[in-house]
């Protein structure tokens, strides 16, 4: 359910819709989307994706432009509202999700790419996006078609991801592929600890400020009680939480600061136990009887 490459050629539609849901903080596995859409080995068309989007509380808008400049303006208009758009590429043979436009470049989630996050110029995007259809009556006339499908939640979403060129480049690094695969796990845990920042938010602290205050203490306690952890690896877990929290604009209410310390200490303890294992504590191991 995180950000990773599709396993086959025909699942790009469910993956693209999953990535649009991720932007809205809606966590749905691609398998559930495939079932809702009725995906087959032939792929998933726009009507099937619209059905799946409705199943999970979103509208799948259908917009068609013939002029590239008008298509670009329409796409950018939705992106600036924080609305991701599904776009058919490669002569309508592949779906991708466009999530951001920044300084003339576009950030895409393309599940065929090993890094998934892709940065393209407008010319690169336009060449892959355009569909050329010969006129039915005039052989010398070719129509250019640019279809785009904004994914709009029907109700208020809890939060919304704000990708940037810097964040996309960070996630594209080979060393961060595992982190990207676990994206949904980080989001779920953070939504249980943090709250989305709103214009009315008061007395809140960012996760970065929270870690500035408490990270050293939490890592020292983790190392003391476990005894054999890599503190740099533990710090990286917190760094990745910080990255996700900033992407979604998640903050900690000042009144919940102590609860957040407790929650993150428990998460770090569970992480350490899963990675480095632990022996029995506060429990007497039953003795095995020796066979005579």
Q: According to the model, what pLDDT value does residue 292 have?
A: 63
Q: Which residues of the chain have pLDDT under 50?
A: none
Helix (H, G, I), strand (E, B) or coil at 91: coil
What is the spatial distance between Cα 257 and Cα 251, in angstroms, rounded to a whole number?
A: 10
**Burial classification of residue 143, based on how many CB atoms lie within 10 Å of its CB (0-12 exposed, 13-18 middle, 19 or more buried):** exposed
What is the spatial distance between Cα 102 and Cα 76, in angstroms, rounded to a whole number?
A: 10
Token representation of residue 208: 């970065």
Q: Residue 195 belongs to what H/E stretch?
A: strand 195-196
Beta carbons of 101 and 95 less than 8 angstroms apart: no
CA neighbor of 79 nearest in space, from 160, 158, 17, 197: 160
Q: What is the pLDDT of residues 34-72, one digit of tens each?
A: 999 999 999 999 999 999 999 999 999 999 999 999 999
Query: Whole-number mean pLDDT of the chain?
Result: 94
Q: According to the model, what pLDDT value does residue 232 have?
A: 95
What is the spatial distance between Cα 45 and Cα 39, in angstroms, rounded to a whole number?
A: 8
Q: According to the model, what pLDDT value does residue 158 have?
A: 74
CA neighbor of 158 nearest in space, from 179, 202, 186, 188: 188
Q: According to the model, what pLDDT value does residue 277 have?
A: 86
């Amino acid at each position: 359910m995180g950000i990773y490459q599709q396993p086959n050629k025909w699942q790009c539609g469910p993956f693209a819709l999953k990535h649009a849901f991720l932007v809205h903080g809606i966590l749905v596995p691609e398998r559930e989307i495939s079932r809702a859409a009725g995906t087959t080995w032939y792929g998933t068309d726009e009507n099937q994706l619209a059905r799946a989007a409705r199943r999970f509380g979103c509208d799948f808008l259908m917009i068609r432009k013939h002029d590239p400049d008008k298509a670009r303006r329409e796409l950018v208009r939705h992106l600036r509202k924080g609305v991701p758009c599904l776009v058919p590429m490669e002569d309508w043979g592949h779906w991708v999700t466009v999530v951001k436009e920044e300084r003339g470049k576009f950030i895409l989630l393309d599940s065929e790419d090993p890094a998934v996050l892709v940065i393209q110029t407008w010319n690169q995007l336009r060449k892959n996006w355009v569909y050329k259809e010969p006129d039915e009556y005039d052989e010398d006339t070719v129509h250019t078609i640019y279809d785009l499908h904004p994914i709009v939640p029907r109700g208020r979403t809890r939060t919304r991801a704000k990708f940037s060129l810097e964040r996309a480049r960070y996630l594209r690094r080979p060393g961060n592929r595992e982190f990207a695969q676990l994206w949904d796990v980080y989001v779920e845990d953070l939504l249980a600890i943090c709250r989305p920042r709103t214009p009315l938010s008061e007395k809140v602290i960012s996760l970065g400020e929270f870690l500035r205050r408490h990270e050293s203490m939490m890592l020292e306690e983790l190392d003391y009680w476990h005894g054999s952890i890599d503190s740099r690896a533990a710090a990286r877990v917190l760094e990745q939480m910080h990255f996700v929290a900033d992407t979604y604009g998640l903050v900690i209410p000042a009144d919940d600061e102590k609860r957040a310390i407790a929650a993150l200490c428990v998460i770090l303890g569970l992480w350490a136990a899963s990675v480095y294992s632990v022996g029995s504590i506060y429990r007497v191991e039953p003795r095995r009887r020796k066979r005579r």
